[in-house]
Structure 1
Amino acid sequence: MNAKPHPSGDSSGPETPEGDRIAKVIARAGVCSRREAEKLIEDGRVTVNGKVLKSPALNVTGRETIIVDGKALPAREPARLWRYHKPAGLVTTAKDPEGRTTVFEKLPEDIPRVVSVGRLDINTEGLLLLTNDGELARLLELPSTGWTRRYRVRAWGRITQADLDKLKNGITVEGVRYGPIEAVIDKVQGSNVWLTLGLKEGKNREVKRVLSELGLSVNRLIRLSFGPFQIGDLEPGDIKQVPNRVLMDQLGAHAEQFAPAEAPPSGGPAPGRPGGKWAGGKPVVRKAGDKPSAKPGGAKPGGTKPGGTKPKLKTFRDKKAGTTGKRKDPHADRRRRT
């Protein structure tokens, strides 16, 4: 890969180093987020070609030997995303200094190392997105993505719809500015009120702080959706992978950045995705119960012959006899003559 020319077009100017920043590469490998990778580097826990890295201001091309906490950096895998129904009582952190149970300790053993897209408070329930790609997590949690986070809230106190409508213009609480919030009263239940809120920023404890400013005390908070991804019928503790084709569709212009690097021309398994199949350069999600092909490339015994493919047979049904069978297309010879 050649270095990129200076944006001004002056070849005598400084050149952009080839490759990507080391923190980004570590994040793409699913080890942690980019910010956490920068912290690992600052703590002297990352080496490149045997030398301890002291600054994240380094570009790497993938030809280097990168060691993180004594372990070789794993090869980058295609980005994957999971929907997880977080129960109340779990903290969204890799390690909790207070010894509380974390989300990651409760995941099934067959789930690879993942990071969360944003966080949910210990008492907040509902949808939490998890991914094996730290860079994807960083992209999805940015407010600029424009995805709405929708919550169901139970709060103690009294409020009118007119008061909630004022949140559409945003609100400042203790010097912190929060963006527009859509809020609707669902029902009043005794001293509590049930609300549905939609917001795009998702700042720390945003829902609780904003409603507290309006005189409400939140006693239950459930996230229903994050952008196009819904909690659906997931029960607390359930986890389900988002189909790859759905993820790529939702990423839009960013899809190419997170799609697998290349698709093998033979139609065999994609790099880093055991058992995955490809068609037209796009990944095809294998469903449960699918049987693997008998031969590499998806060919079945007897399915092909040297120099060509086996003629396809059309299924027919003899209505009088009530039987079914296969035969060659009876009109094939006529079409060849014409």
Structure 2
Amino acid sequence: MTEERDTEGVRLQKVLANAGVASRRVCEQYIVEGRIRVNGVVVTELGRRIDPAVDIVDVDGTAIQLDSTKRYVMLNKPTGVVSTMKDEQGRPDLRRYTQDFAERLYNVGRLDADTSGLLVLTNDGDLAHVLAHPSFGVTKVYIAKVDGRVTPQVIARLTKGVELEDGPIAADKARLLDASGTTSLVELTLHSGRNRIVRRMMAEVGHPVIELVRRQFGPLHLGTLPAGKARELTTVERGALLTLARRDAPEPTAPRDTASPDS
């Protein structure tokens, strides 16, 4: 069976080149140098054939997307837009940002209507499930403009933990970016996906949120992407996301709901 599959498969260097890793000649060099793994095993034979639909390949430990039918998009969601593909109340939703893609895309997690920033859209249900699964704990970075002048003591309290109505919560990291005038800018890093968690935390410490933006989701950074614009992830970004998902994927224990609440 193995010999038959190898004969019918596609040469590894061709698969890698088609996936945008590098030219076929450079990919052959990577194979010879032992930088390629197939299903976790280093491959150094140039004649190796694989099944792109089944086999898992990584280069220098970074996962490679072999399934060209999967689409991964980054959206800078503006305020006033709800994180759903069809809103029953007729509010602006995400459909306007997915209509240019042939694939049917879905959002990974949510940002409430008053929060802007990085939202991932994909048709990869397995990856979406992993990234939104509570036990996965993907890290998210927010910048909040809040009322009042935040002190170092408040920052320490955020990282130590505050008590909310649904239990205690602590920021993984908290940093004061600015505290001039009557408002402050605070950067919060969290892995919690609890509903409106940033707003509730800041309200608890006496500094209600005025504006909130998510700048980072796992290995993805919003960068200079304008509000209301979407773009496909780069090869490097897709690799980082797939590597993260493959490394820490939990076993599904319940029906998938990738639209879990967020800030």
Which bin holds the TM-score, normalised by the shorter protein? 0.5 to 0.7
Quick one: higher RCO (CA 8 Å, sep 6+), 1 or 2? 2
1:132 aligned onto 2:120: no
Checking the alignment, whether the CA contact within 8 Å between 1:249 and 1:255 is kept in structure 2 is no
Please list every run of 5 or more consecutive structure 2 residues that lacks an aligned counterpart in the other structure. 1-66, 250-263
1:151 aligned onto 2:142: yes
Equivalent residues, number: 182
The aligned counterpart of 1:31 is: none
The aligned counterpart of 1:117 is: 108
Instruction: Report the TM-score, using the length of structure 1 for normalisation.
Output: 0.49
| CA RMSD, Structure 1 to Structure 2 (Å) | 2.4
Checking the alignment, whether the CA contact within 8 Å between 1:147 and 1:227 is kept in structure 2 is yes
In percent, how many aligned pairs have the same letter?
33
1:234 aligned onto 2:241: no
1:171 aligned onto 2:162: yes
Output the amino acid matched with 2:101.
D
Q: 2:244, 2:199 → 1: CA distance? A: 34
Which segments of structure 1 move beyond 6 Å, counting only runs of 4 or more?
none
Task: Note the C-alpha offset of 1:136.
Answer: 1.5
1:214 aligned onto 2:205: yes
Matches within 5 A, 1:49-64: none
Task: Note the C-alpha offset of 1:245.
Answer: 5.5
Task: Note the C-alpha offset of 1:150.
Answer: 0.5
Corresponding residue SS for 1:252: helix
Output the amino acid matched with 1:206.
I
Task: Note the C-alpha offset of 1:121.
Answer: 0.7
Corresponding residue SS for 2:117: strand
Q: 2:181, 2:228 → 1: CA distance? A: 30
The aligned counterpart of 1:42 is: none
Corresponding residue SS for 1:193: strand
Output the amino acid matched with 1:133.
D
Checking the alignment, whether the CA contact within 8 Å between 2:108 and 2:131 is kept in structure 1 is yes
The aligned counterpart of 1:187 is: 178
* Structure (1 or 2) with the larger CA radius of gyration: 1
Indicate which of 92, 103, 121 corresponds to 1:101: 92
Q: 1:245, 1:192 → 2: CA distance? A: 37
Q: 1:187, 1:243 → 2: CA distance? A: 32
Considering fraction of residues, name the structure with more helix. Answer: 2
Matches within 5 A, 1:223-302: 223-244=214-235, 246-252=237-243, 254-255=245-246
Task: Note the C-alpha offset of 1:171.
Answer: 2.4
Please list every run of 5 or more consecutive structure 1 residues that lacks an aligned counterpart in the other structure. 1-75, 259-338
1:82 aligned onto 2:96: no
Q: 1:236, 1:119 → 2: CA distance? A: 16
Deviations 1:213-238 (A, max 9, x none): 00111110011010110001111121
Instruction: Report the TM-score, using the length of structure 2 for normalisation.
Output: 0.62
